[in-house]
Structure 1
């Protein structure tokens, strides 16, 4: 990236690779005319996203309206990136799916019990990479 092009769109494969590298993101839900956003830790294989949660607002909203957006980002000293995935979320119900989810490297960041798994099938994914440099002269 050059200073002439400080923002670059990422292709689908780049987005998937960055999504796979992350562990913390934000889940956006909408239900009953209300929009919420929740910080969550996650695991992704690049085609889907897995989160663990406890009963509460987040899980309730997902059962009312399954369409969600998910965002994760990261940065280094020289650049930053952001990936946004849209898809449909569903709570895992079958024991086979739950057993498989239990094998994923997904642990809560805080000492709480989270026995519910939510799987998001990614339908659309976009991302951008940003060059980090000083702000240009304004005048």
Structure 2
């Protein structure tokens, strides 16, 4: 008998709840007409993913309201367990003063040196997730 785990499809609310437990994910966007993937630290704000950027392709994607993907996970190879959540949605610059006040300061500090003065919201238009769990005993 195998010792594999069961794959569980996670609902939207469970996915967002799990995202709120980690601080690093991967942003998938287009850079020079090619797919790019970069690790970013993030926070959830009003149900959407928020990151800080300095400029470049990530800022261009937000300014152009590009569709991007964001993925975060927590995996334990020893326990054969974990979860993965993917968000797909439009990126946009946060420009509302009240929102900027809420997300600035110590709430979301960049990990890398350098100035990152722009806040980007990734709308959680499509949220999918999967988890691995121990099989349920047969009764």
Q: Same fold (TM over 0.5)?
A: yes
Q: Is residue 33 of structure 1 aligned with residue 33 of structure 2? A: yes
Higher mean C-alpha deviation, range 69-78 or range 20-29: 69-78
CA distance in structure 2 between the partners assigned to 1:102 and 1:126 by the alignment? 28
Name 1:97's counterpart in structure 2. Answer: 99
TM-score normalised according to structure 1 size: 0.81
1:112 aligns with 2:114: yes
Equivalent in the alignment of 1:61: 61
Number of equivalenced pairs: 131
Gaps of 5+ in 2: 135-139
TM-score w.r.t. the length of structure 2 is 0.81
CA distance in 1, matches of 2:45, 2:106: 10
Cross-structure match for 1:124 = 126
Give the Å deviation of 1:122: 0.6
C-alpha contact (below 8 Å) 1:92/1:119 kept by paired residues: yes
CA RMSD of the aligned region, Å? 2.4
**52-61 vs 114-123, which deviates more?**
52-61
What displacement does 1:105 show? Answer: 2.2
CA distance in 1, matches of 2:133, 2:50: 30
| Aligned partner of 1:86 among 85, 88, 93 | 88
Over residues 2-48 of structure 1, what are the superposed CA-to-partner deviations in whole Å (9 max), with x where a residue is unaligned? 94653211122211110111100011113663221121000014720
Tell me the distance in 2 between the aligned counterparts of 1:65 and 1:117. Answer: 13
